Structure 1
Amino acid sequence: MKSLQDAIYNWLTIKVVADARPDDISAVDTLQLFEDILTKDFQVGDKTIQKDDEMYYVTYSIDGEEKKVRFPIELIDIMHNQIQGNPERYKNYPV
């Protein structure tokens, strides 16, 4: 993955799903994949997430420097919303 912003976006999207479905091994494994990408490829550390009525905010550090990105809620929650709206299409594969 070439873009740090894309990696954070993908990580956050699957984190929302994995947090809602902690027994879904596919979600948990995918979350770990993006955790590894952020850590190994981009040297990202200490991630925190905040959410308001419109945005998710991810604060993270690289080489001790704190940085922040934001994403609209509807972009991040889309996968989770699809799973909730069509559970028959998204079988939960327990750990």
Structure 2
Amino acid sequence: MKFDDALFNWLQMEIVAAGRPDDRAALDTRDFFLQILTEDHGVAEVGIAETDDDFVTVAYVREGRPGRWRAPRQAAEQLLIDINANPKFNEQ
């Protein structure tokens, strides 16, 4: 998996996990993408640095070097919106 794809997938799942902290599948999936980032791409640290109206900025350390990466906020948050809109995923 390409670095940008792994980072975007991690970001989407980080947003889903934050929005659904009791969703074990979301947490496990986020951790899966974190594992890909660490094992396949040498990422030692990763986190959401800031969010504004248009973008989500991710800060990371890759192979000892800090970096920043941005994704459109709408795209990053879309998975959480879709999950929350689906009654199948919101049954009590």
TM-score by length of 1: 0.87
Q: Percent identity?
A: 34
What is the CA deviation profile of residues 48-70 of structure 1, one whole-angstrom value per residue up to 9, with x for unaligned ones? Answer: 31111110001111122111110
Q: RCO higher in 1 or 2 (8 Å CA, sep ≥ 6)?
A: 1
TM-score by length of 2: 0.90
For structure 2, the residue ranges without an aligned partner over 5 or more in a row are: none
Matches of residues 1-95 of structure 1 in structure 2 within 5 Å?
A: 1=1, 3-49=2-48, 50-86=50-86, 88-91=87-90
Q: Please give the secondary structure, in 1, of the residue aligned with 2:5.
A: helix
Q: Please give the secondary structure, in 2, of the residue aligned with 1:26.
A: helix
Query: What RMSD over aligned residues (CA atoms) do the two structures have, in Å?
Result: 1.6
Report if aligned partners of 1:24, 1:92 keep a CA contact under 8 Å in 2.
Answer: no
Partner Cα distance (2:91, 2:8) in 1: 23
Runs of 4+ more than 6 Å apart: none
Partner Cα distance (1:63, 1:25) in 2: 30
